[in-house]
Amino acid sequence: MATVAFIGLGNMGGPMAANLIKAGMTVTVFDLMPAAVDALTAQGALSAKTACGAAASADVVISMLPAGKHVSSLYLGDASNKGLLDVVSKDTLLIDCSTIDAATAQLVGSKAAQKGIEFMDAPVSGGTAGAAAGTLTFICGGTDAAFNKAQTVLTVMGANIFHAGQVGAGQIAKICNNMLLSVLMVGTSESLQLGIDNGLDPKILSDIMKVSSGGNWTLEKYNPCPDVMDNVPSSKGYQGGFMVDLMVKDLGLSQQAALASNSSTPMGALARSLYVNHARQGHGRLDFSSIFEQFSQKK
Amino acid sequence: MATVAFIGLGNMGGPMAANLIKAGMTVTVFDLMPAAVDALTAQGALSAKTACGAAASADVVISMLPAGKHVSSLYLGDASNKGLLDVVSKDTLLIDCSTIDAATAQLVGSKAAQKGIEFMDAPVSGGTAGAAAGTLTFICGGTDAAFNKAQTVLTVMGANIFHAGQVGAGQIAKICNNMLLSVLMVGTSESLQLGIDNGLDPKILSDIMKVSSGGNWTLEKYNPCPDVMDNVPSSKGYQGGFMVDLMVKDLGLSQQAALASNSSTPMGALARSLYVNHARQGHGRLDFSSIFEQFSQKK
Amino acid sequence: MATVAFIGLGNMGGPMAANLIKAGMTVTVFDLMPAAVDALTAQGALSAKTACGAAASADVVISMLPAGKHVSSLYLGDASNKGLLDVVSKDTLLIDCSTIDAATAQLVGSKAAQKGIEFMDAPVSGGTAGAAAGTLTFICGGTDAAFNKAQTVLTVMGANIFHAGQVGAGQIAKICNNMLLSVLMVGTSESLQLGIDNGLDPKILSDIMKVSSGGNWTLEKYNPCPDVMDNVPSSKGYQGGFMVDLMVKDLGLSQQAALASNSSTPMGALARSLYVNHARQGHGRLDFSSIFEQFSQKK
Amino acid sequence: MATVAFIGLGNMGGPMAANLIKAGMTVTVFDLMPAAVDALTAQGALSAKTACGAAASADVVISMLPAGKHVSSLYLGDASNKGLLDVVSKDTLLIDCSTIDAATAQLVGSKAAQKGIEFMDAPVSGGTAGAAAGTLTFICGGTDAAFNKAQTVLTVMGANIFHAGQVGAGQIAKICNNMLLSVLMVGTSESLQLGIDNGLDPKILSDIMKVSSGGNWTLEKYNPCPDVMDNVPSSKGYQGGFMVDLMVKDLGLSQQAALASNSSTPMGALARSLYVNHARQGHGRLDFSSIFEQFSQKK
């Protein structure tokens, strides 16, 4: 049974680590917040005083951090700390599940490769509910060997595990998907409101478009118009779900990639502008389907 | 068995009428082009010298015409001709399958209602292939009575028959759907190209997004990136399918509706601009998935 | 000295008619609101019971109405009233100063031409302040003869009088200008906010861009950022000036023209979407420079 | 008389250095291309074997390089070379005239400040013609002391010298301006084409809008519609001027800044997408006013 080091025990990392423990793995955790560590040790985790300490003897290291700079510090070190690449052995598998810029993933990957260590980026989707249920989607970038070896741990935490390509490809595929998701959400919102403004019942219109050429994930699972679908954020005051601020973060990553590759993404760029405006009007903590309210008449 | 008058025997109307004949109905046809009429009489249709002549004794009248002005002339008449509303009996059911502006559909519908005649707008999707195979989708606007009575003829020509609401609702629902489709197509194209520009294989990226939150009809049925999917226009030089010029027409109708209802459709309006630019660069007769080429690097 | 009939005495029409009276002309007025008529007769106008009555014996007819349907009814008549074209003599000059769709202007113009009557569209800019001061801008569409003859009255009410082309050209030129204005306003707003977000003083940035290649009318006369410029709406809580709702109307007219000519206007269409969203959030009666607030962080 | 080191002798840097020589200054130059160095020594410059050698004894160092990474290497050094900050004395004034990301300018500035050395970013506009004529515009970021001291050299090379704020502010102000310029250019292009499509003469429409609320720099100096204005790129097959590829670079910098500050720039982002598409269709080396051709009908 693999021994795992888990670094970063936030809303996502905490339940992910818990699932590994439940599966009987030996998990050593680290987080800057003592309370987050305590919650995991109470479930059977070991703890370490530093990230390097947790990782030193693990077969697999998993990290789940907020942004590229944290990932870079963790693996490459910084002014005050060694990086994981300085302490782990060559047969350790490093898996970063954070959603960050592809450039940082590729930098860490190439530094790891220089030392003969396997590194894989494996950003997730599925939210905190998926993390708790062990039904996350992982989109992985790395070698075939790394991808195969990672199955042991990833299948415990997730239901869908994709191999997008080499290191960095996981990040790219995820932000391509999330950029497209934002376009689906905005496009569906404005189409539904156009129908409503012209006298249509949004439920009927949704039913028609769902099985027609306008069909898309948001109509299927996450209708943005209140009271069309039960148990989705739009029918609960846009609470819960995937926050506008997080969509703004992912759209920022997609635009960063588009700048780096000199790509044109007019719809994704427009979606980002609309979501930033929405956040700046004070709606950053609502679910991202609340963009619907930009199109409806304020009561 | 119903007697049917069919007015407008173009690429869509011709095969639709043919399916009614095959089903054993008595069909009287009219078109301004003699060759189009001849093709149908050869299959067993009767013909009439005028649209009014065809319609006068029919149980059901079906029209399939290019634009609102033709529909208006047909039903309401013009300087030189009577309209169908002047000649048909009260128990005739009028079904217009053209894709036109909702305002014209509503005008014809209200004039018909004043005379006690049932009128329904029932625009189709599915293209010439669907017309020939009898697998069209009909999106209907009209009373329940009209909708129920229309089943006899619509089920012969189509596989999916939706009731969107009152007269005009069929047109609105169709253009909402097609506007959304254009957004899916552009958004999917730019997302795939962003992936390609960053080293991803478009087939793998498509497979991932298709079953993730970016999933949509274009990934499922109509991938715009060449050689990802067999037997779609993108793998055949963007020939066949649904022409850019027709998408421009439908996006024009959606913007006309948005102006009338003072609605905001930023994605749909942007898609229209990109499609008009694409058409103006000389690509109006390519399939609408060719918008992908606006994002890829010209070789 | 010309005798003038003035139809439509609203916020703009009232002061325009008053200036003609002050210049010593014989002005017969008509409006559906008795109070509006009384205000002008108190200043020396004659009044008539109907628009046709006012126009019958005038050398020049000037109209200032809200929308195309009113202009159409006035000149062409409707179910209950004759139109001006039925009552005026051939040597009457008809000038419509309303801002309406070009198609209606062209329809009225062609009907007038069939009767040998000169009709000119002459939409204005300059607002109620310009109307009162007699410093409006007129953008005219009509023959050279009509344009020359109109100078007598237009120079009394305005400071800049342009001849854009044949009938309808005045409307087209005005909505091209106002569409461009909306783009300048949004573009300037987001550029200033980008500077502010990166630590720049908006006054300094405005001073630099004003004399550089970013220079435009909004930086010169109408800075949207509060407290950069004195005596503009942005420094007075976005009160006064040109309302968001009116910009939405003009952007609707520009999109109507773009649909009719199958033109692509991505920036203008996007500006319209942003302004409609702004209006729907409850800001329709603020000055149009308040679009700046869509980009700034809500406090 | 100041002694100057000039690093980077490309299309812009070469003529800028030449103007300093003509003004009687002692100029020591460096460039990786020997031919570029030779061209300047032929005009009286001294040369050095390295950038550090050129800078070591200068009162003022001026650099003109393609991108942030070159500026970073020059001032901060890299794996194989010392940086200028390692060799110059505290009373040397460092002026970087490159157009780069503000973050790099701020990084170099803060490293310089740590050593007590004045650094100023001073990106230019005005093109190669302005560089040759000594009429460039400089937009400077730095302390008042640095700005004042820089006048001696900047006034020799430029006609307009702005002080935008602290270090980095020059870059921000320049990209705000250039982003706004791109919006003016696209907005003006689509407005003119909308007028043309509706029968207007673009010259007359330009004349009207230029003095109305649509007035902007492009109508004044750089009309994008062929044959409206003499001696501009649009009337010379879009040759010369400011290349599409350079506008794409500047729009990339503006979007980089917008991502860093979490700002929304819908018009600027859309302009970038349209310019990238235009470049990818093979027009990257045309003047940036050629975006007009995206809106006109291809002949």
pLDDT tens digits for range B163-202? 999 999 999 999 999 999 999 999 999 999 999 999 999 9
Which residue reads 């415990």 in tokens? Answer: A156
For the entire predicted model, the pTM comes to 0.96
Give residue A1's pLDDT band: very low, low, confident or very high (50, 70, 90): confident
For residue C241, the distance in angstroms to the closest alpha carbon of chain B comes to 22
Q: Report whether B264 contacts C273 (CB < 8 A).
A: yes
Quick one: what percent of chain B has pLDDT higher than 90? 95
Q: Report whether B180 contacts A209 (CB < 8 A).
A: yes
Residue A33: count of CB within 10 angstroms of its CB: 10
Q: Report whether B266 contacts A274 (CB < 8 A).
A: yes
Residues of D in contact with B295 (CB under 8 A): 277, 280
Mind telling me the catalytic residues of B? 174
- Look at residue C79 in the predicted model and tell me its pLDDT: 87
Give residue B2's pLDDT band: very low, low, confident or very high (50, 70, 90): confident
Q: Rounded to an integer, what distance in angstroms lies between the CA atom of residue C218 and that of residue C206? A: 10
Q: Report whether C87 contacts C50 (CB < 8 A).
A: no
- Chains touching chain C through at least 3 C-beta pairs below 8 angstroms are A, B, D
- Mutate which: B244, B277, B283, B291, vs D, most D CBs within 10 A: B277
D interface residues, B as partner, C-beta within 8 Å: 270, 277, 280-282, 294-298
- Mutate which: A273, A286, A294, vs C, most C CBs within 10 A: A294
Domain ranges across chain B: 3-166, 172-294
- Phi, psi of D292, rounded to the nearest 5 degrees: -50, -35
pLDDT tens digits for range D241-267? 899 999 999 999 999 999 999 999 999
pLDDT tens digits for range B202-221? 999 999 999 999 999 999 99
- Look at residue C298 in the predicted model and tell me its pLDDT: 78
Residues 6+ apart with CB under 8 A from C116: C90
Give residue A281's pLDDT band: very low, low, confident or very high (50, 70, 90): very high
For residue B126, the distance in angstroms to the closest alpha carbon of chain D comes to 30
What CATH number belongs to B3-166?
A: 3.40.50.720
Q: Rounded to an integer, what distance in angstroms lies between the CA atom of residue A258 and that of residue D39? A: 39
Q: Tell me the CATH class for D172-294.
A: mainly alpha
Mind giving me the DSSP string for B91-147?
Answer: TPEEEE-----HHHHHHHHHHHHHTT-EEEE--EESHHHHHHHT-EEEEEES-HHHH
- Token readout for A67 is 């942004």
Mind giving me the DSSP string for D264-279?
Answer: --HHHHHHHHHHHHHI
pLDDT tens digits for range C226-271? 999 999 999 999 998 899 999 999 999 999 999 999 999 999 999 9
For residue C274, the distance in angstroms to the closest alpha carbon of chain B comes to 8
Q: Report whether B278 contacts B291 (CB < 8 A).
A: yes
- Mutate which: B276, B277, B294, vs C, most C CBs within 10 A: B276
B interface residues, D as partner, C-beta within 8 Å: 270, 277, 280-282, 294-298
Is the per-residue pLDDT at A299 higher than 80?
no
Residue of C nearest to A295 (CA): C277
Pairing of strands B60-63, B46-47: unpaired
Q: Rounded to an integer, what distance in angstroms lies between the CA atom of residue B105 and that of residue B69? A: 10
Q: Rounded to an integer, what distance in angstroms lies between the CA atom of residue B155 and that of residue B174? A: 18
Q: Rounded to an integer, what distance in angstroms lies between the CA atom of residue A47 and that of residue A30? A: 6
Q: Report whether C26 contacts C83 (CB < 8 A).
A: no
Pairing of strands D26-30, D46-47: parallel
Annotated active-site residue A174? The verdict is: yes
Give residue B13's pLDDT band: very low, low, confident or very high (50, 70, 90): very high
- Look at residue B297 in the predicted model and tell me its pLDDT: 82
Q: Rounded to an integer, what distance in angstroms lies between the CA atom of residue C193 and that of residue C41? A: 49
- Look at residue B23 in the predicted model and tell me its pLDDT: 96
Say whether domain D3-167 belongs to CATH 3.90.228.20.
no
- Look at residue C242 in the predicted model and tell me its pLDDT: 93
Mind telling me the catalytic residues of C? 174
Is the per-residue pLDDT at D1 higher than 80?
no
- Chains touching chain D through at least 3 C-beta pairs below 8 angstroms are A, B, C
- Look at residue A240 in the predicted model and tell me its pLDDT: 82
Label residue B243 exposed, middle or buried (CB < 10 Å: 0-12, 13-18, 19+): buried
- Look at residue C35 in the predicted model and tell me its pLDDT: 96
Give residue B79's pLDDT band: very low, low, confident or very high (50, 70, 90): confident
pLDDT tens digits for range A34-75? 999 999 999 999 999 999 999 998 999 999 999 999 999 999
Specify the higher pLDDT residue, A10 or B298. Answer: A10
Q: CA angle at residue B127 from B123 to B130, to 5 degrees?
A: 95
Q: To the nearest 5 percent, what fractions of chain A are helix, strand and coil?
A: 55, 15, 35
Q: Report whether D231 contacts D255 (CB < 8 A).
A: no
Which residue reads 């779609």 in tokens? Answer: B232
Residues 6+ apart with CB under 8 A from D189: D224, D225, D289, D291, D292, D294, D295
What is the value of ipTM here, to two decimals? 0.95
Q: What is the mean pLDDT of chain B?
A: 96
Residue of C nearest to D211 (CA): C217
- Token readout for D32 is 């990786």
- Token readout for D291 is 């975006």
Q: Letter for the amino acid at D95?
A: I
Contact D177 C260 (CB under 8 A): no
Contact C280 B264 (CB under 8 A): yes
Q: Rounded to an integer, what distance in angstroms lies between the CA atom of residue A32 and that of residue A50? A: 9
Contact D276 A259 (CB under 8 A): no
Q: What is the mean pLDDT of each run of 10 residues along chain C (299 residues)?
A: 93 97 97 96 96 95 97 94 95 97 96 97 93 96 97 97 98 98 98 98 98 96 97 94 95 97 98 98 96 90
Contact C181 D213 (CB under 8 A): yes
Residues of A in contact with B147 (CB under 8 A): none
- Token readout for B272 is 């229209």
Q: Nearest by CB to B269, from C256, C270, C277: name it.
A: C270
Q: Rounded to an integer, what distance in angstroms lies between the CA atom of residue C1 and that of residue C156? A: 13
Mind giving me the DSSP string for C147-161?
Answer: HHHHHHHHHHHEEEE
pLDDT tens digits for range A71-129? 999 999 998 889 999 999 999 999 999 999 999 999 999 999 999 999 999 999 988 88
